[in-house]
């Protein structure tokens, strides 16, 4: 294996992070007028990108703003090598092995013959997501390696034509999602390391962002758009088209707008992430301004410290250190950490897209399944404090987080008070009632006011849930 220094997206990441830091202050100003506006703000071109006959952004975003929690699935040929090539380990995230291991197209393609995930069971995958309290699934229809998980007529480099498995994975998932009431969404890479009209000729550095392909327009107009039509028409209606790989040289701002409008023309209520345009700013994943297309920001592997008021955003995150399966990545985040992250994100007004990377056999790794089940146990009791909530009006609270609905505050207590008193500062509204969300009888907790802006709730000595017990405050709207 070639062990040369690996210029992966991670190094791109550190560069963009540095640039980002330098521009931080300017960025904050820009963010105030940035693209992913919520309802109620000024009208912008984003409100009806597809022309007069489209729905408003608010109408399209409604379910997404309510549902809060989704499953990301990175699955493709890279699950076969699972981080190893010709007996050596390849550094970096699993789905980048073709780039990081400098593997020629003709060799990488051969993996298709080994892709036979006989244990794949769409019903089970959708069930795992649903039981965790997730409401939507975003799966890689095509990642940067160009391999397609459905029977596309635009290439034979797909699961039906090139593998012994021969089953239409997206079709099976679409059917199950419909059955179980989960919204299906596709991640689709603009960058394509396999297509001769895209980045394939750039081998051994497919991700070289200084290079252009003279036939790129043909790739976009014929191949990319043709495939999108298949995805939306044959497997839809979809929740989101989640684009990525937009940082290549050939993808212009105009391409972004054109693709955004094209998606809306195929399905008027579809949601499109901001990576359809090329204005993304570093890992925070926000568009620099509303001259760039897309409905919402996509912070990657991070949660914006104070949320992003007025913007729609969704943090995507891995449970270990890779998106696509890697056999030796055991750096799992704990269940507690993941649950706290979900709540942290909701308390800041964002969505959480939590990743799984299934194996080449077709199984979601055990540690992922266990973590999702644990989150699901909590959600069964407490999901009311996540779905349909908005960011905390209280700012930072010392004992945990807070989410809100009209007339209600949900106090997520991570650190249960040892003295039986939970203090809530910054609350002037009259508290009508307080109870534990886990308490079916809704027995009232004693609430006393200390001064104009502080209430003290008398709580049981033991937390209902050691990781996060939710107290509901019914309050008078001011």
Residues forming contacts to ligand JFZ in the complex (CB under 6 A) are: 9, 12-13, 16, 93, 95-96, 244, 247, 283, 300, 316, 323
Least distance from ligand JFZ to the Cβ atom of residue 147, Å: 13
Return the number of the residue (8 or 175) whose C-beta is nearest ligand JFZ.
Answer: 8
Return the number of the residue (37 or 142) whose C-beta is nearest ligand JFZ.
Answer: 142
203 CB neighbour count, 10 Å cutoff: 17
Least distance from ligand JFZ to the Cβ atom of residue 12, Å: 4
Least distance from ligand JFZ to the Cβ atom of residue 74, Å: 6
Return the number of the residue (9 or 455) whose C-beta is nearest ligand JFZ.
Answer: 9
Return the number of the residue (117 or 357) whose C-beta is nearest ligand JFZ.
Answer: 357
Q: Which residue is nearest to ligand JFZ (CB)?
A: 13
Least distance from ligand JFZ to the Cβ atom of residue 251, Å: 13
396 CB neighbour count, 10 Å cutoff: 11
Least distance from ligand JFZ to the Cβ atom of residue 378, Å: 25
Least distance from ligand JFZ to the Cβ atom of residue 232, Å: 20
For residue 139, CA distances in Å to 144, 171, 227, 379, 452 come to 13, 12, 15, 23, 49
Return the number of the residue (280 or 412) whose C-beta is nearest ligand JFZ.
Answer: 280
Sign (positive or negative) of CA dihedral 448, 451, 453, 456: negative
Least distance from ligand JFZ to the Cβ atom of residue 138, Å: 9
Return the number of the residue (27 or 464) whose C-beta is nearest ligand JFZ.
Answer: 27
Return the number of the residue (244 or 295) whose C-beta is nearest ligand JFZ.
Answer: 244
CB proximity list for 32: less than 8 A, separation 6 or greater: 310
3-state secondary structure the chain: CCCCCCCCHHHHHHHHHHHHHHCHHHHHHHHHCCCCECCCCCCCHHHCCCCCCCCCHHHHHHHHHHHCEEEEECCCHHHCCCCEECCEECCCCHHHHHHHCCCCHHHHHHHHHHCCCCCCCHHHHHHHHHHHCCCEEEEEEECCCCCECCCCCCCCCEHHHHCCCCCCHHHHHHHHHHHHCCEEEEEEECCCCCCCCCCHHHCCCCCCCCCCCCCHHHHHHHHHHHHHHHHHHHHCCCCEEEEECCCCCCCCHHHHHHHHHHHHHHCCCCEEEHHHCCCEEHHHCEECCCCCCCCEECCECCCCCCCCCCECEEEEECCCCCCCCCCCCCCCCCHHHHHHHHHHHHHCCCEEEEEECCCCCCCCCHHHHHHHHHHHHHHHHHHHHCCCCECCCCCCECCEEEEEECCEEEEEECCCCCCCEEEEECCCCCEEEEEECCCCCCCCCCEEECCCCEEEEECCCCCCCCCCEEEEEEECCC
Least distance from ligand JFZ to the Cβ atom of residue 280, Å: 8
Return the number of the residue (172 or 302) whose C-beta is nearest ligand JFZ.
Answer: 302
Least distance from ligand JFZ to the Cβ atom of residue 316, Å: 5
Least distance from ligand JFZ to the Cβ atom of residue 193, Å: 11
Return the number of the residue (167 or 341) whose C-beta is nearest ligand JFZ.
Answer: 341
Least distance from ligand JFZ to the Cβ atom of residue 282, Å: 7
Return the number of the residue (358 or 400) whose C-beta is nearest ligand JFZ.
Answer: 358
Return the number of the residue (350 or 400) whose C-beta is nearest ligand JFZ.
Answer: 350
């Amino acid at each position: 294996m070639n062990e040369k220094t690996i210029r992966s997206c991670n190094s791109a990441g550190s560069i963009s992070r540095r640039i980002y830091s330098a521009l931080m202050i300017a960025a904050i100003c820009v963010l105030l007028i940035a693209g992913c506006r919520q309802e109620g703000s000024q009208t912008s071109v984003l409100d009806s990108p597809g022309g007069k006959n489209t729905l408003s952004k608010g109408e399209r975003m409604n379910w997404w703003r309510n549902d809060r929690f989704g499953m990301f699935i990175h699955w493709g040929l890279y699950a076969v090598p699972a981080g190893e090539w010709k007996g050596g380990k390849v550094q970096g995230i699993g789905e980048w092995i073709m780039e990081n291991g400098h593997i020629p197209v003709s060799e990488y393609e051969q993996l298709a013959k080994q892709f036979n995930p006989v244990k794949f069971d769409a019903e089970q995958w959708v069930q795992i997501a649903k039981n965790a309290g997730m409401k939507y699934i975003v799966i890689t229809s095509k990642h940067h390696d160009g391999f397609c998980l459905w029977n596309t007529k635009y290439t034979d480099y797909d699961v039906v034509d090139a593998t012994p498995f021969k089953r239409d994975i997206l079709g099976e998932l679409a059917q199950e999602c419909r059955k179980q009431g989960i919204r299906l969404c596709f991640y689709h890479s603009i960058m394509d390391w396999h297509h001769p009209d895209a980045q394939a000729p750039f081998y051994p550095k497919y991700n070289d962002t200084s290079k252009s392909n003279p036939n790129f327009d043909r790739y976009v107009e014929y191949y990319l758009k043709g495939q999108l039509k298949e995805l939306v028409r044959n497997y839809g209606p979809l929740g989101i088209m989640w684009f990525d790989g937009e940082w290549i040289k050939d993808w212009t701002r105009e391409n972004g707008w054109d693709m955004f409008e094209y998606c809306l023309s195929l399905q008027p209520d579809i949601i499109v992430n901001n990576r359809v345009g090329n204005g993304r700013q570093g890992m925070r994943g926000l568009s620099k301004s509303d001259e760039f297309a897309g409905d919402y920001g996509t912070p990657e592997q991070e949660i914006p410290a104070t949320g992003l008021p007025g913007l729609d955003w969704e943090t995507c995150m891995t449970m270990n250190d890779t998106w696509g399966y890697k056999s030796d990545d055991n750096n799992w985040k704990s269940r507690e950490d993941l649950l706290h992250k979900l709540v942290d994100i909701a308390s800041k007004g964002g969505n959480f897209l939590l990743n799984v990377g299934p194996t080449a056999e077709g199984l979601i790794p055990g540690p992922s399944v266990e973590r999702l089940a644990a989150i699901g146990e909590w959600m069964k009791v407490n999901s009311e404090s996540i779905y349909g909530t908005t960011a905390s009006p209280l700012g930072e609270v010392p004992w945990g987080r807070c989410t809100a609905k009209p007339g209600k505050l949900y106090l997520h207590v991570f650190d249960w008070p040892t003295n039986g008193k939970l203090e809530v500062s910054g609350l002037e509204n009259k508290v009508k009632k307080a109870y534990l969300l886990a308490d079916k009888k809704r027995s009232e907790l004693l609430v006393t006011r200390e001064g104009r802006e502080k209430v003290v709730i008398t709580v049981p000595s033991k937390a209902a849930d050691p990781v996060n017990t939710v107290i509901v405050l019914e309050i008078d709207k001011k």
